[in-house]
């Protein structure tokens, strides 16, 4: 059985994240579930930590509540929010996107 933290899982995470359109966000859990690893949301986060700075739109991935939990992994803690705002993503409070309005799931790409 393949480990959820092996390189091929990370590559599959990156492939899904690359599909998230501007102005939309996906959750770590949505990505993990789409990849058949429902309990691997944290591992999705590890994959994204390795991809920060790669050009992949990692800023479009939030936690299940729409919170910007990955913001500390960017150049500054404000970069994630600034990028999302520039794409038209609305926030319900300081670090939480309007998930009901901007949520994208991998099945939307099909």
Please give the tally of structural domains in the chain: 1
Instruction: Reduce the DSSP state of residue 76 to 3 states and report it.
Output: coil
For position 5, what pLDDT does the model report? 54
CB 23, CB 89: distance < 8 Å: yes
CATH of the domain at 79: 1.10.10.10
| Given 26, 58, 61, 80, the catalytic residue | 58
pTM of the model: 0.89
Domain that holds residue 20: 7-103
| pLDDT for position 1 | 36
Digit-by-digit pLDDT tens for the chain (110 residues) are 344 456 699 999 999 999 999 999 999 999 999 999 999 999 999 999 988 778 999 999 999 999 998 887 888 889 999 999 999 999 999 889 999 999 999 987 76
Alpha-helix runs per DSSP H in the chain: 7-17, 28-34, 41-51, 79-86, 99-102
What's the rounded Cα separation, in Å, for the pair 42 and 45? 5
**Is position 92 within any domain?**
yes
Catalytic residue flag (residue 58): yes
84 within domain boundaries? yes
In terms of Cβ atoms closer than 10 Å to its own Cβ (0-12, 13-18, 19+), residue 79 is middle
In a domain, 110, yes or no: no
């Amino acid at each position: 059985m393949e480990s959820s933290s092996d390189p091929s899982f990370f590559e599959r995470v990156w492939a899904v994240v690359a599909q998230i359109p501007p102005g939309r966000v996906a959750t770590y859990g949505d990505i993990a579930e789409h990849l058949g690893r429902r309990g691997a949301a944290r591992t999705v986060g590890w994959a994204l930590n390795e991809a920060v700075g790669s050009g992949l739109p990692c800023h479009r991935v939030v936690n299940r509540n729409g919170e910007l939990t990955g913001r500390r992994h960017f150049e500054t803690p404000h970069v994630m929010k600034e990028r999302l705002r520039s794409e038209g993503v609305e926030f319900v409070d300081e670090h939480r996107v309007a998930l009901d309005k901007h949520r994208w799931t991998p099945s939307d790409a099909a």
